Chain A
Amino acid sequence: MGSTSTKIKLRTSDQKVFEVEKAVAVQSQTIKYIYENGCPDSVIHVHSVSGDILSKILDYCKKHVNSAAGKEDISPEELYEWDANFVKVDQNTLFDLILAANCLKIESLLDLTCQTVANMIKGKRPEEIRTTFNIKNDYTIEAEEAVRRENKWAFDMLGGVGTMVIEELADDTMSKCVTNTKSRVCVIAANQIVMMRSISKLANKKSIDVYKQPQNPTTPRIKESVKQRNVGTGFIELFFHFKCKM
């Protein structure tokens, strides 16, 4: 009876036992299946998950169950922030969470953690990715050339449309510009460097890369043909293509 406070016992790989509410535990499709097809009173073994990791995962599940059921007054934006903080962990823990979310079949957590790793890959050159994850490059020179040829379109892309802020703008106009731009890149003019930090913060949320305008505008990163477009409110967006050699 008392289905609202039914508890499920979970034992981890390091023999720690957790007692959790059923509604929280069944966020894991694996646990749900075992519970529904086995003896409801016995302890469920989660072999491949350690106590520390399971503890974190249960925090996640609890937060999401409570927010969905309206037990906690938390807006979607606040939940998003909470999730973002949840994945601010060291790499080892993040990977443990991914493997556990996969094994426990918690789709939203798997998506969250995989998205986090994707953000660590995004915008980086191969060498930078290797350094981040300590991956050894085991290609021969010939093999590497072959890979570049196989899909040369991807290794030779234009960096895309950039946005340059050149006027002296108030903070909120600056925010509007970053929020509304479709660019993936924002270059800040030399005389706007003081804005760099606040723009970077906004830009990070949208996965926009922020660069300082180089001293010498003819460096290999920036090409010619600048098109100018006036988008009102004294703000001019310059579109230019720049070459990103990957």
Chain B
Amino acid sequence: MAMCVEDRISSFPDHILCHILSFLPIEEAVRTSIISTKWRYLFASISTIKFDGHLMRGLTDRNVDSFKNFVDRLLKFPDQVSLDCFRLDDIVSWNDKDRNFDVSDWICAALCRGVKEIDLDLDNLGNILPALLFTCHSLVTLKLVAVGSEITVPSDVCLGNLKTLQLRNASFVGDSIHRLISNCHVLEDLAFIHCDSDYLREVNIQSPSLKRLVLDFDLGESGNLDYVVVINAPNLVYFQYTDAVVEGYTLTNMKSLEKARLNICENDSIDCETSATHLIQGIRNVRSLSLTTDEAIFRTSQLPIFHNLIEFEYGGHGFNGIETWLVEFLHCAPNLETLNLNFPVEAGTRWKALPIEVPSCLSFHLKEIEISCFMTHMIEMVSYFLDNAMVLENLIIRTKGLSVTQTRKVSNQLLQLLKSSKKCLIVIL
């Protein structure tokens, strides 16, 4: 890149130079102090402080004191601007080899500087988190990865400005989850990912401010499935749930829900169908639903009518009788406009002679169908849709699993099929 003739960069306002430095690993940001006198103390005003495993591995033993000294000056110097973000991640162990970093102290210092975001990915997190963290008024975002560590939530927890909370691999006892969430009065974005449910009796989320909720328990790999899920979130717009079906679901007041993403699998130890049906009844207001299951997990006769559903995506490994199940589901979505299918279809399935009526969405509303992973014997399924989807405008077929010759053969077959909708355009990708 052509150089400037003069040194323009050193005349940038300090805050822009600090912004540039915030994109560098911290050790490199500190090294810029040697460039010229103008750059000497710029690094001290960066608003994002991140220590990661790379930094740890590069620090030699004889420099540990120099580093500790640096951190103290960085975090605790008076008259500092408030911190935007403090992040510690990919740290294998910060307290080995007599390095003895006082991580709790660092976190407290960041909190005292009015930090807005804290991201921690540390071993033994449960023992390191200072109680001060849970009463911090400046925190807007909190992300914790606490592999194998139990997080203790103090009884006076109050995070008045917290909008985003993300907890990964954490384990909770008793009603800590409930206590934590009910004391975050402006919480909008909540995610529990791969958390340990061993000691849970219930996941109770009552939040008038919540807009996005992700509950990802890793399809039951995390252990116990003996708990109930209770959600009351009148402003919830997005709900994502991944787990084996658990003991019970009580979803009330989901009137704002627009999009839901469910990835559920069977649980042999309970009355799975009833439980799963309660789950799906709870989200019946959605406009857009993405469902991934491997079995006919809901009794279609118990399905609610999804009046608002205009977009439906269904995926999984397929099962016996999937055609009938799918068409019965479509009966419950009278206003569906877009359908996206991503499951394998066995050869010889009975699309030609389905024992049920054509769903009304096909006759009146369905405009777009996308088949994500087309296999040659899906022609019958495509034929069924082309015959019955009266207002279909787009049929998109993705053939990533097929060879070029196969794709060409399939294209020819498809283009010869009769279409009930004159406007229908077939797109093969």
Q: Which residues of A contact B (CB under 8 A)?
A: 88-92, 94-95, 98-99, 102, 110, 114-115, 117-123, 126, 129-130, 132-139, 143-144, 147-148, 150-161, 182, 184, 246
A135 touches B27 (CB 8 A): no
Chain B residues contacting A155 (CB-CB under 8 Å) are: 31, 34
Q: A95-B4, A138-B36 are in contact. Are A118 and B66 (CB under 8 A)?
A: no
A129 touches B35 (CB 8 A): yes
Q: Is B30 an interface residue (CB 8 A)?
A: yes
Q: A91-B4, A147-B40 are in contact. Are A153 and B59 (CB under 8 A)?
A: yes
CA distance A13 to B23 in the complex (A): 31
B60 touches A158 (CB 8 A): yes
CA distance A90 to B4 in the complex (A): 8
CA distance A133 to B54 in the complex (A): 27
Q: Is B10 an interface residue (CB 8 A)?
A: yes
Report the nearest A residue to B65, measured CB to CB: A153
Would you give the shortest CB distance from A127 to chain B, in whole angstroms?
A: 9
B40 touches A117 (CB 8 A): no
Chain A proximity mask over B200-241: 1 for CB below 8 Å, otherwise 0: 000000000000000000000000000000000000000000
Q: List 28 A-B contacts (CB under 8 A).
A: A89-B1, A90-B2, A91-B2, A91-B3, A95-B8, A99-B16, A114-B19, A114-B22, A115-B23, A118-B20, A118-B21, A118-B23, A118-B24, A126-B31, A130-B35, A130-B36, A133-B9, A134-B3, A134-B6, A135-B35, A137-B36, A139-B34, A151-B30, A151-B33, A154-B31, A157-B27, A158-B58, A160-B57
B3 touches A110 (CB 8 A): no
CA distance A144 to B39 in the complex (A): 12
Chain A residues contacting B9 (CB-CB under 8 Å) are: 95, 117, 133, 135
- CB < 8 Å: which of B16, B37, B54, B67 contacts A143? B37
Chain A residues contacting B30 (CB-CB under 8 Å) are: 151, 154
CA distance A88 to B31 in the complex (A): 26
Would you give the shortest CB distance from A74 to chain B, in whole angstroms?
A: 15
B28 touches A122 (CB 8 A): yes
CA distance A169 to B276 in the complex (A): 49
Report the nearest A residue to B54, measured CB to CB: A160
B36 touches A150 (CB 8 A): no
CA distance A160 to B64 in the complex (A): 16
Q: Which residues of B contact A (CB under 8 A)?
A: 1-10, 12-13, 16, 19-25, 27-28, 30-37, 40, 53-54, 57-60, 63-64, 66-67, 70, 90
- CB < 8 Å: which of B5, B32, B36, B64 contacts A139? B36
Q: Which 10 A-B pairs have the closest CB atoms?
A: A118-B23, A153-B63, A153-B66, A154-B30, A157-B58, A153-B67, A90-B2, A158-B58, A114-B20, A154-B27
A110 touches B66 (CB 8 A): no
- CB < 8 Å: which of A92, A115, A122, A130 contacts B4? A92
Chain A residues contacting B13 (CB-CB under 8 Å) are: 102
A246 touches B31 (CB 8 A): yes
- CB < 8 Å: which of A98, A135, A144 contacts B10? A135
CA distance A139 to B2 in the complex (A): 26
CA distance A129 to B90 in the complex (A): 28
Chain B residues contacting A114 (CB-CB under 8 Å) are: 16, 19-20, 22-23
CA distance A143 to B3 in the complex (A): 28
Report the nearest B residue to A132, measured CB to CB: B3
Would you give the shortest CB distance from B75 to chain A, in whole angstroms?
A: 14
Most B Cβ at <10 Å: residue of A122, A129, A130, A184 = A129
- CB < 8 Å: which of B1, B12, B16, B24 contacts A122? B24
Would you give the shortest CB distance from A25 to chain B, in whole angstroms?
A: 23
CA distance A95 to B12 in the complex (A): 9
Report the nearest B residue to A158, measured CB to CB: B58
CA distance A132 to B16 in the complex (A): 18
CA distance A130 to B3 in the complex (A): 11
Report the nearest B residue to A101, measured CB to CB: B16
- CB < 8 Å: which of A94, A102, A152 contacts B66? A152
CA distance A158 to B59 in the complex (A): 6
B24 touches A134 (CB 8 A): no
Q: A153-B66, A153-B70 are in contact. Are A135 and B59 (CB under 8 A)?
A: no
Would you give the shortest CB distance from B1 to chain A, in whole angstroms?
A: 6
Q: A129-B35, A135-B35 are in contact. Are A92 and B8 (CB under 8 A)?
A: yes
Would you give the shortest CB distance from B369 to chain A, in whole angstroms?
A: 18
- CB < 8 Å: which of A88, A99, A129, A134 contacts B32? A129
16 other contacts beyond A94-B1, A118-B24, A129-B35, with CB at 8 A cut-off?
Answer: A90-B2, A92-B2, A102-B16, A117-B20, A121-B32, A126-B32, A129-B32, A133-B10, A134-B3, A135-B7, A135-B35, A147-B40, A148-B34, A156-B63, A157-B58, A160-B57
A147 touches B16 (CB 8 A): no
Chain B residues contacting A134 (CB-CB under 8 Å) are: 3-7
A98 touches B16 (CB 8 A): yes
